[in-house]
Amino acid sequence: MALEKHIEKVLFSDEVIAHRVNQLGIDITSDFSGDSEETPIFVGVATGACLFLADLVRRIDLPIAIDFIRAESYGSGTVSSGVPRVSFDLKLDITNKHVVLVEDIVDTGNTLSCLIEHMKAKKASSVSVCTLLDKPSRRKVHYKLVGKGKFYSGFECPDEFVVGYGMDFAEQYRNLSYIGVLKPEYYM
The binding site for ligand 5GP (CB under 6 A) comprises 48, 73-74, 80, 84, 103-112, 161-163, 167-169
- C-beta closer to ligand 5GP: residue 12 or 169: 169
Rounded distance, CA 177 to CA 173, Å? 9
CB of 17 to ligand 5GP, least distance (A): 15
Q: Interface with Mg ion by CB under 5 A: which residues?
A: 45, 48, 74, 104, 168
- C-beta closer to ligand 5GP: residue 146 or 176: 176
Torsion sign, CA atoms 165, 170, 171, 173: negative
Q: Which of 107, 134, 159, 168 is catalytic?
A: 107
161 contact, one of Mg ion, ligand 5GP, none, CB 5-8 Å limit per kind: ligand 5GP
- C-beta closer to Mg ion: residue 32 or 52: 52
Burial class (CB in 10 A: 0-12, 13-18, 19+), 184: exposed
The alpha carbon of residue 123 and the mean position of all alpha carbons in its chain are separated, in whole angstroms, by 21
Angle between helices 14-32 and 50-57 (to 10 degrees): 60
100 contact, one of ligand 5GP, Mg ion, none, CB 5-8 Å limit per kind: none
Q: Which residues contact 126 (CB under 8 A, 6 or more apart)?
A: 98, 99, 145, 146, 147, 148, 149
60 contact, one of ligand 5GP, Mg ion, none, CB 5-8 Å limit per kind: none
CB of 90 to ligand 5GP, least distance (A): 17
Q: What is the DSSP string of 94-143?
A: -TT-EEEEEEEEESSSHHHHHHHHHHHHTT-SEEEEEEEEE-GGG-----
CB of 103 to ligand 5GP, least distance (A): 5
CB of 71 to Mg ion, least distance (A): 8
Q: Is 107 a catalytic residue?
A: yes
Residues taking part in catalysis: 107
